[in-house]
Chain A
Amino acid sequence: EIVLTQSPDFQSVTPKEKVTITCRASQSIGRNLHWYQQKPDQSPKLLINYASQSFSGVPSRFSGSGSGTDFTLTINGLEAEDAATYYCHQSSSLPRTFGQGTKLEIK
C-alpha cells in the first residue's frame, strides 16, 4: 500500500499569504496525484488532478507541482474562503490512498 504523508497537519495563515502544502509518497506514483479541498460539512472537491492540472472552475490561485514521490499544492494569495482541510490522493495503484489531511485556519 502506498502511504501518502502530508505536511503540515495544521497551519494558521493570514489572508493574502502564500501557502504551500506538501505530500510525499512512500514509492513513486508518477504524476497520479490529486488534491482535494473539503470544507466543514461539505463533500471533498477536486482542485488539481494529475499533479498539476487545474480542475474546471478552480480559482487560478491554486496550483500543483511535482512527480514521483514529492508533490506540492500552492495557494497564492490566500482568501478567507480557503479555510478548509486539504487532502492529497494517489490513483497509481490499489488500494487508492489519501494523505491524512492538512487543516488551514485563517487568522
Chain B
Amino acid sequence: EVQLVESGGGLIQPGGSLRLSCAASGFTVSSNYMSWVRQAPGKGLEWVSVIYSGGATDYADSVKGRFIVSRDNSKNTLYLHMNSLRVEDTALYYCAGGGDYGYWGQGTLVTVSS
C-alpha cells in the first residue's frame, strides 16, 4: 500500500523559513515524478513545484526563487524548503506522487502570520 506522510508545517512569521517533509512507503520517491500542491483555506488546488526522477526541478512563478524542492533517496523522502514566507503562502501543503498524481498525502498546514 502506498503511503505519503507530510510533516513540518506550523505557524511562522512573514519572512521566516520552514522545511516540509513527505515520507513515502510502498512508493519510490526517486523513481517517480513528485510534486507539491497547496490549497489555501476554502480555496482550490494550486501546483507549487515538481522534482523529476532525473532530479530536475520546476516551480510555480509565485514561489520561484523562494522555495526549493529536494529529496533524500536513502530516506525515500521528499522535501520543500520554503524561505521568505509570505502571508499568501498560508495553505495546506500536499505532496503528490506519479505523473497523474495518483497518490496524495494528508497534507501539512502552513500558516504565515505575524
Contacts and interface: CB of A to CB of B under 8 A. Distances in A.
Interface of A: 34, 36, 38, 43-46, 49-50, 55-56, 87, 89, 91, 94-101
B102 A46 contact: yes
Interface stretch (B11-19, B24-32, B44-52): B44-52
Interface residues of B, number: 18
A50 B100 contact: yes
Interface of B: 35, 44-47, 50, 58, 60-61, 94, 99-102, 104-107
29 contacts: A34-B100, A34-B101, A36-B45, A38-B45, A43-B106, A44-B94, A44-B101, A44-B104, A46-B100, A46-B102, A49-B100, A49-B102, A55-B100, A55-B102, A56-B102, A87-B44, A87-B45, A89-B45, A89-B101, A91-B100, A94-B50, A95-B58, A98-B44, A98-B45, A98-B47, A99-B44, A100-B44, A101-B44, A101-B45
Contacts of B101: 34, 36, 44, 46, 89
Contacts, number: 48
Contact of B58 (A87, A94, A97): A94
A96 B100 CA distance: 11
B35 A43 contact: no
Given A44-B101, A89-B45, 4 more contacts: A34-B101, A55-B102, A87-B45, A101-B45
Contacts of B58: 94-95
Contacts of A100: 44
Nearest to B96: A44
